């Protein structure tokens, strides 16, 4: 690679020449100054080649100097701090930074995958679609190759060690962009007393105007723009109602002026004790978009060679960072602005061998100024070819109005500056529905002030000012931002001549060398091919060709691409329209989006009153809803299966205790509470006697089973509804929905008291003896029969005792205020010692209920199962005129007897059938998939029966008792017999003791 140190001797308004720093690029040490970007320092060290293109691996250098950069992408940082796809043009250089080039193998200079470039004729637009639609075998052959050779930087594989913060802000006016237009708007609103935020994405204020004035000597109120900016900042900083922020990117504008912004806090000091980035969620009365404009490339053969750059970028590098992409720069333009680049280049001692102006008679003051300095200006001329491969070596001159085949002359040069005109940065305006209008004279889409994005009040919530509004000239720019605009002196400019392809009559061969989208390797010829193949909508053409995709989202390519598409379709540009502008403006890392919601605080953890005891006992935890519950209590070196077996047998043989505090508990109270519960539950709850409990089912209006649980009638007008652990909040919300929105005249109140009570299930043949050992209320068979409850002192606790069972054994659930939960738990353990009481976890609970044939919401149900499928017809009231789900159950397919229904399943060999097993049936369905006749819903090893037991939904299952069917899981077959789902104590004798 040619290496020339191109740091200029003078200038560089943003760099601190007094200080030296170094960073690494592909292992080489690169000297830099504070204030450099990676791109400016690399150019300063002679490294124009900074990346490889996505598809063809063509060598690429930076084409821009800011956020719009498509080519110069690097991976920054190592291992866990690695971040891919960062633009060198916006990444600040810092001492010790490590950057690596991407999408090349083995290296950036010698990339063997560049063979793709030679094959480019075989990889036109739609290559991926055409390849992958050809069939599965092609996919197998091509996919690994394409995955390796096409792409951006690799994702990091280790957890990010940095912290990220999220913050909120509210303002009357948020101004996006800290150029002269943004600062003028800030003065306007700040002086008026509004709460103003000004966000600038770069570390510097002033934007383009301060750079351009170096060329054209423009003044604001008689001051150089740099001095005017300084004065404006001084005034704004003194206003307490104005907040100024640099390094803060406004990424997206959303509904009702909700702005997302990313602030870089410590990107250049990795490891510092600061959040690396801060993601802001801002709410504004109004958003003023002063985001400037983006220069467009020109489409000419070889326009992607390293060293071909936007004219404004060349100007920025010279003025801001004192670096130049070359010592001899040819300029190709269709407007006057590029002449500013010639002027700053000449001032910096850089040669301009020629300016090729696509217009026939350019003659504005800027043109004249350049001509006066003896520069050769060639109107109506263009570039037929860029000479050189990894670095520009010269250009072949031709007439613009030609096929580009006749070379008039070779002009040696080492860089080309191009300008195809400017496009206002309308992204934020468009994110939330602001419309655009095509300005034929200026050749750009500008915000249509009559069709702004609206706020909640129906009024405009965004406004564009300055270049973002299409006011490119400095005087118009400031006038658009401020009512009392300052006096501006700036040279006049002649109109742009829109040119979308040059040379104008270039044939297919040259059009295949004209890049539109540098990042995605989309050329003029690809868009024309897409149009020929029928992709006439701009959105379709985008997806077919990948124009405007990936990290730069077509900031440079979109307007040129849709102009080419319009030409191919022979329609005006506004008829083609733009693709949708979507947030974020530039990529945001996942770290900032996740913020602090990671690891232990990803979501809240709910703990019961006995949580610490479970922890002490070495419980293995299971997340249920946002709670954690003991899954089992394994002893030292005891496998979980052994612990579960021990816990199940403790309940069956003596007594066990379970922390049931997480079960949902909802109080429903009021004169109409019974009537209300009759609508919510499928069974009759209004007739439940005070002191009694009833197992109830809830269906959605669609008829599907939602939740279940035991309901206790506490008093004449009060019911307590138990729900599943995960369902408590949702069921409470469901009840409130119906109460507030349908039966709002019913006198009913609900309260979710789940966390107010700690609840302990004591189950097993010795359960009553444990309670009696505590002493207190009568819990005898006569005083407290199955499915009833009582309240009173128990071992000194103020307790409510429900005689209910989810295990099939004699069972009590004891509820006390949460503050008493741990004390009750300890007393029960103490009192149970004589009976060798054991705590049991959720898995033993599951096994116990499955042995008994009790269903579990979420196992036997999945949102498509109705109570009738589970043999729960007994819980569907026939007396009630109405309940939620009743009408749905009358639908023909739900009333049909021909459904998959719950049965027990016993493997013939006694093994545990895999939970994912499916029972195939003969034949195929309409999608040519194998027919099925059943599936497993729960499957366990039963310690009680010493064999595998399962429940499942089987086609017409209850009518097929004793039949053997084959289940299939992961290719293995298990034959199972259809049996009753109640494996244990079918007569319920154990319960009623």
Interface residues with other proteins (CB under 8 A) are 254-256, 258, 283, 432-433, 454-458, 701-702, 733, 736-737, 740-742, 744, 881-882, 886-888, 890-891
Residue (166 or 968) nearer to other proteins, CB: 166
Min CB(736)–other proteins separation in Å: 7
Min CB(669)–other proteins separation in Å: 16
> Is residue 293 helix, strand or coil?
strand
Secondary structure E strands in 323-455: 329-333, 355-357, 377-379, 381-387, 394-399, 409-412, 415-419, 422-424, 436-439, 444-447
The residues, any chain, with a CB within 8 Å of residue 18's CB and separated by 6 or more, are none
Residue (19 or 887) nearer to other proteins, CB: 887
Min CB(597)–other proteins separation in Å: 13
Min CB(392)–other proteins separation in Å: 47
Residue (158 or 882) nearer to other proteins, CB: 882
**Residue 694's closest CA among 676, 679, 706, 712?**
712
Residue (81 or 283) nearer to other proteins, CB: 283
Min CB(897)–other proteins separation in Å: 19
Min CB(587)–other proteins separation in Å: 21
**Residue 950's closest CA among 851, 858, 843?**
851
At 447, list the tokens.
């915000």
What whole-number distance in Å separates Cα of residue 917 and Cα of residue 965? Answer: 12
Min CB(946)–other proteins separation in Å: 47
What whole-number distance in Å separates Cα of residue 610 and Cα of residue 633? Answer: 14
Min CB(593)–other proteins separation in Å: 14
DSSP string, 275-292: -SEEEEEEEEEEEEE---
Residue (458 or 962) nearer to other proteins, CB: 458
The residues, any chain, with a CB within 8 Å of residue 543's CB and separated by 6 or more, are none
Residue (736 or 924) nearer to other proteins, CB: 736
What whole-number distance in Å separates Cα of residue 950 and Cα of residue 938? Answer: 5
Residue (512 or 666) nearer to other proteins, CB: 666
What whole-number distance in Å separates Cα of residue 750 and Cα of residue 839? Answer: 33
Residue-wise over 164-184: b if at least 16 C-beta within 10 A, else e? bbbeebebebbbbbbbbbbbb
Secondary structure E strands in 316-402: 329-333, 355-357, 377-379, 381-387, 394-399
Residue (743 or 941) nearer to other proteins, CB: 743
Q: In what order do the strands lie in the sheet with 749-752?
A: 693-699, 705-715, 718-723, 664-669, 749-752
Residue (434 or 943) nearer to other proteins, CB: 434
Residue (361 or 740) nearer to other proteins, CB: 740
Residue (4 or 256) nearer to other proteins, CB: 256
Residue (456 or 484) nearer to other proteins, CB: 456
**Within 13 Å of residue 656, how many CA atoms lie on the same side as its CB?**
28
Secondary structure E strands in 88-192: 98-101, 164-176
Min CB(562)–other proteins separation in Å: 23
CB 30 within 8 A of CB 96: no
Residue (129 or 170) nearer to other proteins, CB: 170
Residue (358 or 680) nearer to other proteins, CB: 680
The residues, any chain, with a CB within 8 Å of residue 307's CB and separated by 6 or more, are 48, 61, 325, 326, 388, 391, 392, 414, 415, 416
**Residue 802's closest CA among 872, 670, 718, 713?**
713
Min CB(667)–other proteins separation in Å: 15
Min CB(459)–other proteins separation in Å: 9
CB 473 within 8 A of CB 489: no
Min CB(949)–other proteins separation in Å: 37
DSSP state of 501: S
Min CB(440)–other proteins separation in Å: 28
Min CB(748)–other proteins separation in Å: 13
At 558, list the tokens.
């979109």
Q: Residue 744 forms beta bridges with which residues? A: none
Residue (294 or 679) nearer to other proteins, CB: 679
Min CB(875)–other proteins separation in Å: 17
What whole-number distance in Å separates Cα of residue 893 and Cα of residue 899? Answer: 8
What whole-number distance in Å separates Cα of residue 632 and Cα of residue 661? Answer: 16
Residue (575 or 733) nearer to other proteins, CB: 733
**Residue 201's closest CA among 37, 341, 51?**
37
Count of helices and strands (H, E) across the chain = 27, 49
Min CB(890)–other proteins separation in Å: 7
Alpha helices by DSSP H, listed for 164-244, are 180-191, 207-216, 225-238
């Amino acid at each position: 690679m040619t290496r020339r140190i191109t740091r200029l001797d003078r200038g560089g308004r943003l760099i601190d020449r007094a200080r030296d720093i170094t960073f690494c690029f592909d292992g080489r040490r690169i000297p830099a100054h504070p204030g450099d970007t990676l791109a400016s320092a690399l150019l300063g060290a002679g490294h124009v080649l900074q990346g490889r293109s996505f598809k063809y691996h063509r060598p690429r250098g930076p084409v821009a100097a800011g956020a719009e950069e498509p080519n110069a992408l690097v991976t920054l940082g190592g291992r866990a701090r690695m971040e891919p796809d960062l633009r060198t043009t916006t990444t600040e250089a810092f001492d010790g930074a490590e950057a690596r080039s991407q999408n090349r193998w083995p290296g950036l200079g010698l990339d063997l995958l560049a063979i793709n470039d030679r094959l480019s004729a075989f990889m036109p637009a739609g290559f991926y679609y055409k390849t992958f639609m050809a069939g599965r075998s092609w996919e197998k052959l091509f996919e690994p190759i394409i995955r390796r050779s096409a792409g951006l930087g690799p994702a990091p594989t280790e957890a990010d060690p940095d912290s990220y913060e999220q913050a909120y802000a509210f303002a009357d006016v948020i101004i996006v962009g800290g150029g002269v237009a943004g600062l003028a708007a800030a003065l306007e609103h700040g002086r008026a007393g509004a709460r103003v935020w000004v966000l600038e994405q770069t570390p510097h204020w002033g934007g383009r105007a301060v750079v351009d004035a170096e060329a054209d000597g423009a003044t604001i109120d008689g001051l150089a723009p740099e001095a005017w900016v300084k004065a404006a900042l001084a005034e704004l900083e003194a206003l307490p109602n104005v907040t100024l922020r640099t390094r803060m990117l406004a990424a997206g504008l959303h509904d009702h002026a909700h702005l997302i912004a990313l602030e870089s806090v410590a990107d250049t000091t990795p490891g510092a004790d600061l959040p690396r980035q801060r993601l802001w969620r801002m709410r504004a009365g109004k958003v003023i978009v002063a985001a400037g404009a983006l220069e467009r490339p020109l489409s000419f053969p070889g326009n992607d060679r390293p060293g071909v750059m936007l004219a404004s970028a060349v100007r920025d590098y010279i003025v801001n960072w004192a670096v130049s992409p070359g010592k001899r720069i040819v300029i190709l333009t269709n407007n006057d602005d590029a002449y500013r680049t010639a002027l700053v280049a000449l001032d910096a001692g850089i040669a301009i061998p020629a300016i090729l102006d696509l217009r026939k008679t350019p003659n504005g003051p800027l043109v004249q100024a350049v001509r006066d300095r003896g520069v050769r200006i060639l109107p109506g001329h263009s570039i037929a070819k860029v000479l050189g491969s990894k670095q520009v070596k010269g250009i072949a001159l031709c007439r613009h109005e030609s096929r580009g085949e006749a070379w008039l002359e070779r002009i040696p040069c080492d860089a080309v500056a191009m300008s195809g005109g400017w496009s206002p940065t309308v992204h934020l305006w468009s994110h939330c529905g602001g419309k655009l209008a095509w300005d034929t004279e200026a050749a750009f889409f500008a915000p249509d002030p009559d069709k702004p994005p609206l706020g909640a009040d129906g009024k405009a919530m965004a406004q564009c000012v300055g270049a973002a509004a299409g006011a490119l000239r400095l005087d118009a720019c400031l006038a658009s931002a401020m009512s009392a605009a300052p006096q501006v002196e700036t040279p006049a400019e002649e109109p742009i001549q829109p040119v979308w392809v040059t040379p104008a009559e270039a044939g297919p061969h040259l059009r295949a060398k004209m890049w539109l989208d540098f990042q995605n390797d989309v050329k003029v010829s690809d868009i024309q091919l897409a149009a020929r193949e029928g992709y006439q909508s701009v959105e379709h053409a985008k997806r077919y060709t990948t124009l405007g995709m990936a990290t730069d989202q077509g900031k440079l390519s979109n307007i040129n691409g849709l102009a080419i598409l319009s030409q191919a379709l022979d329609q005006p540009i506004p008829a083609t329209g733009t693709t949708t502008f979507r947030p974020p403006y530039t990529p945001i890392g996942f770290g900032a989006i996740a913020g602090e919601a990671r690891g232990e605080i990803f979501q809240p953890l709910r703990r019961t009153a006995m949580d610490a005891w479970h922890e002490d006992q070495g419980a293995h935890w299971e997340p249920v809803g946002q709670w954690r519950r003991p899954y089992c209590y394994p002893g030292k070196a005891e496998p979980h299966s052994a612990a579960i077996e021990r816990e199940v047998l403790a309940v069956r043989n003596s007594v066990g205790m379970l922390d049931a505090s997480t079960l949902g508990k909802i109080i429903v109270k009021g004169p109409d509470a019974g009537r209300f519960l009759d609508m919510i539950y499928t069974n009759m709850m209004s007739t439940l006697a005070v002191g009694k409990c009833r197992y109830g089912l809830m269906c959605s209006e669609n008829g599907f089973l939602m939740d279940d649980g035991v309901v206790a009638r506490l008093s004449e007008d009060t019911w307590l509804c138990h729900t599943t652990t995960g369902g408590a909040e949702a069921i409470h919300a469901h009840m409130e929905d119906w109460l507030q929105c349908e039966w709002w005249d019913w006198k009913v109140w609900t309260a979710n008291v789940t966390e107010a009570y700690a609840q302990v299930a004591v189950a097993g043949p010795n359960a009553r003896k444990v309670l009696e050992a505590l002493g207190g209320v009568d819990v005898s068979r006569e005083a407290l029969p199955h499915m009833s409850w009582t309240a009173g002192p128990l071992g000194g606790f103020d307790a409510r005792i429900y005689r209910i069972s989810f295990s099939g054994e004699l069972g009590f659930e004891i509820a006390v205020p949460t503050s008493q939960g741990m004390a009750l738990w300890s007393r029960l353990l103490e009192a149970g010692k004589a009976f060798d009481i054991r705590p049991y976890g959720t898995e033993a609970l599951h096994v116990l209920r499955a042995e008994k044939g009790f269903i579990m919401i979420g196992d036997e149900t999945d949102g498509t199962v109705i109570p009738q499928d589970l043999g729960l017809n007994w819980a569907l009231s026939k007396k009630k005129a109405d309940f939620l789900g009743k009408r749905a159950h009358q639908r023909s397919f739900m009333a049909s007897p021909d459904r998959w229904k719950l049965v027990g399943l016993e493997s013939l060999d006694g093994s545990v059938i895999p939970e994912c097993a499916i029972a195939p049936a003969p034949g195929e369905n309409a999608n040519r998939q194998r027919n099925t006749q059943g599936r497993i819903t729960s499957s366990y090893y039963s310690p009680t029966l010493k064999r595998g037991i399962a429940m499942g939904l089987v086609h017409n299952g209850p009518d097929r008792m004793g039949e053997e069917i084959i289940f299939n899981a992961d290719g293995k077959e298990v034959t199972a017999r259809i049996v009753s789902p109640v494996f244990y104590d079918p007569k319920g004798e154990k319960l009623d003791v």
